[in-house]
Amino acid sequence: MMDYGRIIVELFVGFVALFALTQLLGKTQITQITPFDFISALVLGELVGNGLYDNEIGVGKILFTLSLWGVLIYLLEMITQKWGKTRAWLEGRPSIVIHKGRINKKELKKAKLDIDQLRHLLRSKGAFSLREVEYAILETDGTVSVLKKFGYETPINRDLNVPAKEITLSIPLITDGRILSENLKEINLTEQWLLSEIKKMGYHTPQELIFAEWERGMPLYVIPYLETNSTTN
């Protein structure tokens, strides 16, 4: 029982410490993860995991190790932000692997990429042939940004002379049968209004809906649960 109690305490402390550390370091490790960030995340997990099953490692050592690792990562982030010239060396830099339609073999070799891997990355961006690509940039997180040649670019509204209109944001009001009161307040609407609207559509309670979405100038969009017999508007 003592071991179970120790594991519970250390797991809880490790969980809180990891959460606090990720909040301190920001969202970069998730949204713009680099190879070093990925390894860093693995190391953090291993530090806590190994501490749980080693009787000689207590809460104090887990917190010390996580704190020290967090300080090192934080210092690295501060260095790259304060001295921009170090960013390319510490975090890497984007590289142009296709320039004016021609493959840059030197950059491909430096990035340890072959043609098949490059084609795979291009397909993930909707470029299914190398002839479509004018520029391709390999980003530091391993993804590729693509600028297609003139004949292969998707036309935009300006090209098609589509008249301008106001851009609005859709707001979810019901998810999994639950009313999102904060979202209603944000758009200055009430639950009474929402209930009235869904009744007009043939639904009696929010629990009948898996999702409801509001957008300015558009009718309320709802999706009922499958077992509901009413129709979706």
Distance (Å, whole) CA 48 – CA 17: 9
Residue 166 within any structural domain of the chain:
no
Percent of the chain residues topping a pLDDT of 70: 72
Is residue 66 domain-shared with residue 139, that is, in the same domain?
no
H-type helices in 26-114, by residue range?
28-31, 35-52, 59-82, 87-91, 105-110
Least-confidence region, from 31-35, 56-60, 112-116, 206-210: 31-35
Residue 11 within any structural domain of the chain:
yes
User: pLDDT (tens digit, 9 = 90+) per residue, 20-46?
Assistant: 766 665 544 444 555 566 666 677 677
Q: Around 229, how many Cα atoms within 13 Å sit in the side-chain half-sphere? A: 0
Residue 132 within any structural domain of the chain:
yes
Residues 145-184 as b/e (b if ≥16 CB within 10 A, e otherwise) read: ebebeeeeeeeeeeeeeeeeeeeeeebebbeeeebbeebb
The CATH number covering residue 219 comes to 3.30.240.20
Residues 187-201 as b/e (b if ≥16 CB within 10 A, e otherwise) read: eeeeeeebeebbeeb
Q: What mean pLDDT value characterizes the chain?
A: 79
Distance (Å, whole) CA 27 – CA 46: 20
What range defines the domain where residue 122 resides? Answer: 95-152
What was the pLDDT predicted at 227? 55
Is residue 180 domain-shared with residue 127, that is, in the same domain?
no
Residue 232 within any structural domain of the chain:
no
Least-confidence region, from 11-15, 84-88, 151-155: 84-88
- Residue 213 carries which DSSP code? E
Answer yes or no: is pLDDT of 141 > 50: yes
User: pLDDT (tens digit, 9 = 90+) per residue, 127-138?
Assistant: 898 899 999 999
The pTM assigned to this predicted structure is 0.52
Distance (Å, whole) CA 33 – CA 28: 6
C-alpha closest to that of 95 among 33, 137, 144, 141: 137
User: pLDDT (tens digit, 9 = 90+) per residue, 196-232?
Assistant: 999 999 999 999 999 999 998 889 999 998 754 444 4
Answer yes or no: is pLDDT of 83 > 50: yes
Total domains, the chain: 3
Residue 183 within any structural domain of the chain:
yes
Q: Which residue has the higher pLDDT, 85 or 103?
A: 103
The confidence band for 52, taking pLDDT boundaries of 50, 70 and 90, is low
Angle, in degrees to the nearest 10, between helices 2-25 and 35-52: 160
What was the pLDDT predicted at 38? 64
Q: What is the mean pLDDT of residues 89-113?
A: 84
Residue 95 belongs to what H/E stretch? strand 95-99
Residue 164 within any structural domain of the chain:
no
